């Protein structure tokens, strides 16, 4: 989970994981999940469990050519994951999971915090195309839950 590594899907992931405005949150309950969304939830959970354990073959084999191209090689992808384990530790908390379908791709998003940075919530996103291949994969910072944000009401004090 190296947040510095560029991803072609990065902008898409930020849009997909953005928090909805308050007005949009008052909409009626979402429709029941589709069969594709149920499959994405089950398969996404399985692949994330393997990703966390640095068992990457199944995930790598499910990537389409474009996603593989973002990582270069399985060895490079493995190095990225091992760096994430070293820097962030094991998953400590699942904040939420969700699935949805857009433009023929069914997404599984797992928002989680990790041992070495428990105040940071990361969105791990897997997008499955209609053939079941992974057409989107990425990790983006979703929320910083620390209480010591820089610009928190200190301007104008002691002046």
Residue 150 lies in a domain: no
Residue 130 lies in a domain: yes
Tell me the chain's radius of gyration from C-alpha atoms: 17
Residue 116 lies in a domain: yes
Residue 120 lies in a domain: yes
The total number of structural domains in the chain stands at 1
Q: Which domain holds residue 120?
A: 33-144
CB-count burial class (<10 Å; 0-12, 13-18, 19+) for 97: middle
Q: What is the CATH classification number for the domain harbouring 73? A: 3.10.450.590
Alpha carbons within 13 angstroms on the beta-carbon side of residue 54 total: 15
Per-residue pLDDT tens digits for 38-67: 999 999 999 999 999 999 999 999 999 999
pLDDT of residue 31: 82
| Higher per-residue pLDDT: 150 or 35 | 35
Arithmetic mean of pLDDT over the chain: 85
99: pLDDT strictly greater than 70: yes
Residue 156 lies in a domain: no
Quote the tokens at residue 79.
């190095």
Residue 26 lies in a domain: no
Residue 149 lies in a domain: no
> In this structure, are residues 88 and 1 in contact, taking their beta carbons and an 8 Å threshold?
yes
Q: How much is the pTM? A: 0.76
Residue 68 lies in a domain: yes
């Amino acid at each position: 989970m190296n947040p510095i590594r560029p991803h072609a899907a990065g902008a898409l992931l930020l849009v997909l994981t953005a928090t909805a405005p308050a007005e949009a949150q008052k909409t009626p309950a979402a429709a029941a999940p589709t069969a594709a969304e149920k499959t994405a939830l089950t398969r996404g959970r399985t692949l994330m469990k393997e990703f966390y354990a640095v068992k990457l073959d199944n995930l790598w084999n499910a990537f389409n050519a474009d996603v593989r191209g973002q990582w270069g090689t399985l060895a490079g992808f493995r190095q990225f994951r091992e760096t994430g384990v070293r820097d962030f530790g094991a998953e400590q908390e699942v904040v939420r999971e969700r699935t949805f379908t857009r433009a023929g791709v069914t997404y599984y998003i797992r928002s989680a915090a990790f041992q070495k940075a428990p105040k940071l919530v990361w969105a791990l996103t897997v997008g499955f195309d209609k053939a079941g291949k992974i057409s989107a994969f990425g990790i983006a910072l979703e929320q910083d839950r620390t209480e010591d944000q820089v610009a928190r009401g200190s301007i104008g004090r002691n002046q």
